[in-house]
Structure 1
Amino acid sequence: MTPMPNLPSRSTFPVLRDVPTRWHDNDHYGHVNNVVYYAYFDTAVNGWLMDATDADIRDLPALGLVVETSCRFHRSISFPDRLEVGIGVAKLGTSSVVYRLAIFRKGDDDAVALGRFVHVYVDRATRRTSAIPPVLRDVLAPVAEKSAPLFQAAGLLDAEEGHR
């Protein structure tokens, strides 16, 4: 398989999470439906946060709400493909995190899709903007540090994300 130009490789992402396709992910056209990619992103990010912190993020005083997502599709996938989601942190703010994500077929170096995913943290009770809980910041900060030069080299940072 020839590499697609201008697509980041799996080595661009500090974290890789296995995410399986499921029988019902395929649509009438025989490939994974576009909306399912967002579920893969959500599952990968939240699963990684739970594993990395050894905490149930649903029990933290602040909740991460998804306020923005995007995805660019480059190749189709279908069940029973085995997938990995590459995760990196493009920007770590006081109350928000901007993730850059990529979906790879297991063993392939070329991304089949690239995504952007934004969590804004809110107080569990009031739903007002809140600081990212320290237990999460402790795992996000090192990934943000690792992501910065990788994302810069791959051209994955927006102008606003490039400034810390």
Structure 2
Amino acid sequence: MEKRRGTRADYRHLLAIPTRWADLDAYAHVNNVVYYAYFDTVVGDYLVRHGALSIATSPVIGLVVETGCRFFAPITFPDIVTAGLRVGRLGNTSVRYEIGIFRNDEDAASAEGHFVHVYVDRGTQKVPTPLPPILREILTPLAVSA
């Protein structure tokens, strides 16, 4: 059974990201690795803008321990990407971020993916650490039921 392509309405937060000429591969499509940069961009932007992450000083940081992406339709330059963000699971020390990538004004996702952050102490980068209250506070509105 094939999974349904998500739509913009499936995501709680949207961020426009312009494509760049350098994003293209030899086939004139946005290269698959660039999609992971879109994932990082929408999550990082959301966390920084909502005060849950200071890249230089946060005592707790998220490390990616799992990631995946399903591609449905190509994107090229000079398209505008809209990255949709939701939280699939909000755990004690981890978060599953789910991202939809949309081309221009299209409603159906061109790609959908996820990654899991395990939050750890910045100093050791090994010891899982409970999510800080500010992180839980800003991510709760993005959470969806499984």
Please confirm whether the aligned pair reaches a TM-score higher than 0.5, indicating the same fold.
yes
Match 1:26 to one of 24, 27, 38: 24
| In 2: Cα distance, 1:91 partner to 1:7 partner | 20
Conserved? CA contact 1:60–1:133, under 8 Å: no
Q: Which sections of structure 2, spanning at least 5 residues, go unmatched? A: none
Counterpart amino acid of residue 112 in structure 2: L
Counterpart amino acid of residue 70 in structure 2: R
Match of 2:44 in 1: 46
Higher helix share: 1
Secondary structure at the residue paired with 1:111?
A: coil
Conserved? CA contact 1:61–1:133, under 8 Å: no
| In 2: Cα distance, 1:57 partner to 1:141 partner | 21
Match of 2:137 in 1: 138
Conserved? CA contact 1:14–1:88, under 8 Å: yes
Conserved? CA contact 2:52–2:134, under 8 Å: no
Counterpart amino acid of residue 94 in structure 2: S
Conserved? CA contact 2:52–2:135, under 8 Å: no
Structure 1 residue 79 displacement after superposition: 1.1
Which has the higher mean CA deviation after the structures are superposed, 58-67 or 34-43? 58-67
Conserved? CA contact 1:49–1:57, under 8 Å: no
Counterpart amino acid of residue 12 in structure 1: D
TM-score, reference length from structure 1? 0.82
Q: For 1:40-74, what per-residue CA distance to the aligned partner results, in whole angstroms no more than 9, with x for missing partners?
A: 10011111111122752442111011111100000
Q: Percent identity?
A: 48
1:1-164 alignment to 2 at 5 Å? 6-53=4-51, 55-127=53-125, 128-144=127-143, 147-148=144-145, 162=146
| In 2: Cα distance, 1:20 partner to 1:69 partner | 23
Aligned length: 143
Counterpart amino acid of residue 18 in structure 1: A
| RMSD of Structure 2 on Structure 1 (CA) | 1.5
Q: Which sections of structure 1, spanning at least 5 residues, go unmatched? A: 149-161
